[in-house]
Amino acid sequence: MLVKYIEKILRARVYDVAEETPLDFAPGLSKRLGNAVYLKREDLQPVFSFKLRGAYNKIATLSEQAKANGVIAASAGNHAQGVALSAQMLGIDALIVMPQTTPEIKVNSVRARGAQIVLFGDSYDEAYGRAREIAADKNMTFIHPYDDIEVIAGQGTIGMEILRQKTGALDAVFVPVGGGGLFAGIAAYIKFVRPEVKLIGVEPDDADCLNQALKESERVVLKQVGLFTDGVAVKQIGEEPFRILRHTVDEVVTVNTDEICAAIKDIFDDTRSVAEPAGALALAGLKKYVETRSIVDQTLIAIESGANINFDRLRYVAERAQVGEHREILLAVEIPEEPGSFLRFCKMLGNRNVTEFNYRYFDARNAQVFVGLATSGAESDKPEVIRCLEEERFTVVDMTANELAKEHIRYMVGGHAPRALNEEVYSLQFPERPGALLKFLTALGDRWNISLFHYRNHGAAFGRVLIGLQMPNTERYAFEACLNRLGFEYTEQTANPAYDLFAGGGEEKR
C-alpha cells in the first residue's frame, strides 16, 4: 500500500509552485517543555498554507482535455487559494464555490489569483454539493481537498522534506487532521522510510472525526463540528486517508479552543509569525502530549500548517490564550453583601494579579463576583486559590472550563433579570452574512418573546449568540424544531451555572 505512495511522492510536481519550507527550531518552547521542538513552516508557502502542494500536484497530472475543460473546487479558504494559484500557474480556468459566510478577505484573495467565484450556502457541505453539480454540468474536474490520491501525494512531500531536514534523532511528528489528506501523505512516507518515528494526529475536541473513526474501526459522521478551527472542521475523515491512517497512525490527541489559542501565542513568541487556529493545532497537541505523558529529552516536530487568519480574530485568540496556558483562572465567588466584604475578599487574593473583576449589585444578602486571576501555570495553583477562598467561607464556582462563561457571561455580568421570566436559554452558532439576523428573527415570528440576546463578532464565518426566550418548557421542542429547520447548531443552556449566577431571573427564581 505505501510503496505506491512513495513513488507518487517522489515524482510529485509540487516545486513548480510550492517552496521547500524550513524546519525551524523553537528555542522558547524547547526550553519550557524540556524537549527539542521544531516547527515545519508551511505557513511560509506562497498561499500561506500547505494546501498548494496537493492542489498543484493533482491539477498538473490532469490530461490535456481535462485541463482544457477547467477545474472546480469547494472551499472557504486555503484549498481555494491553492487551487486558484495552481490553475493560474498552469493557465487553466478555475471556479471556486465558497459559502456565503466566507469572510471577504478570503474571497478577495482567491479572486486575485484569477479564479471565478460562486458564493453558495452557509456551510462547506452546501458549497461542496453545488460544486459537484456544476462540475457535472460543465464537465469540469473536481479537485477534492483531501480525498484524492494525487492530492495526498502532494501533501506527502512534507514528510519527505522532514526526513531530509532532520536526519538525526526524531521521536514524533504531530500533524493537524481535518479530512486527513495531509496526515495520510506524511504518514505514508515517514512510516515507510522510518517506521520507528511516532505519528500523532491532532484534532479539536469538537471536530475529532479521525479519533472517532479509529475508535469505531470505521468512518463515522459527526453530528456537528466546532468552527473555531475552521481549517479542519470536517464531519467525516476521507475514505482514502482513513485507509492509510488506520494502519499508520500511532495516536490521536484532541485539544480545546483555549489550548489552540495558547499554541498560536507560543508560535508568535518563538517566530513572530501568526498562525491560524488550524495552523497551531499540531503544536497544541504536542504540548498536551508532553504534559500528560511527562515527556522529556525527545525530538518533536509540529506541522505549522497555515497562517490565513483574519486580523479581527486576534482579539479573541488573545483573550483565550492565557486560560489555555493555565495562566488565568476564572471564578464565580459569592461574598456577603455587607461593608468590608470586598476588602476581605481582595486580601485573600493577596498579591495575585487580577485580570478581570466584574460585579453589579443585585441581591441585598449576597454579591456574585466574576473574577479572573493570573496564575503561575502550575496545576496546583488553582486548587490552592479555591481552597483559601472556601476556608474564608466564600462560595466558589470554577468557571475556567465553562464555555458559556468565557464566550458570553463574562461580558454580561450585572445583567440579571429583575424577576423570574420563565426563560429558556440557548447558545447557537450564527452565520455571518447580510440578512442572517433578519432571517432568524423572521423564522421565529412572534410566538416567543426574546428576553436575552448577546452576540460577539470574532471575525469568522460564524458568530456566537446567547439567546433567552420567554416560553413554557413545553414550547422548547417547537423552538428547537425551528432551529433545526434553519440549520443552526445549538445547545440548551438554561441549567448552566454561569447563566444562573450572573444572568438568570430575579428573586423569585433564585
Ordered alpha helix ranges (H), 61-148: 64-69, 78-90, 104-112, 124-138
Q: Report how far residue 44's alpha carbon sits from residue 18's, in angstroms, rounded to the nearest whole number.
A: 10
Mode of pairing for the β-strands spanning 299-304 and 172-176: parallel
Q: How far is CA 510 from the centre of its chain?
A: 36
Catalytic residue among 8, 40, 49, 51: 51
Integer Rg of the chain from CA? 25
Residue 196 burial class via C-beta count within 10 angstroms: exposed 0-12, middle 13-18, buried 19 and up: exposed
Spatial neighbors of 137 by CB under 8 A, at least 6 apart, are none
Neighbours of 118 (CB within 10 A): 14
At residue 313, what are phi and psi to the nearest 5 degrees? -80, -15
Residues in the chain: 510
Query: Is 51 in the active site?
Result: yes
Query: What is the spatial distance between Cα 23 and Cα 303, in angstroms, rounded to a whole number?
Result: 9
- Active-site residue among 49, 75, 305, 427? 305
How many Å apart are CA 235 and CA 207, to the nearest integer?
7
User: Residue 418 burial (CB < 10 Å; 0-12/13-18/19+)?
Assistant: exposed
C-beta atoms surrounding 481 within 10 Å = 10
279 neighbors 39 (Cβ within 8 angstroms): no
List 299's β-bridge partners, or say none. 36
Q: What angle do CA 502, 506, 509 make, to 5 degrees?
A: 100
Report the distance separating Cα 287 and Cα 294, nearest Å: 10
Query: In this structure, are residues 284 and 57 in contact, taking their beta carbons and an 8 Å threshold?
Result: no
Give helix then strand counts, H and E, for the chain. Answer: 20, 18
Residue 496's identity, in one-letter code, is N
Task: Choose among 84, 96, 92: nearest CA to 62.
Answer: 92
Contact assessment for residue 299 and residue 323, using Cβ atoms and an 8 Å cutoff: no
At 71 the three-state DSSP class reads: strand
For the chain, the helix, strand and coil percentages under 3-state DSSP, each to the nearest 5: 45, 20, 35
Measured between alpha carbons, how far is 105 from 419 in angstroms, rounded to an integer? 45
Identify whether 376 is a catalytic site residue.
Answer: no
Q: Which residues are catalytic?
A: 51, 305
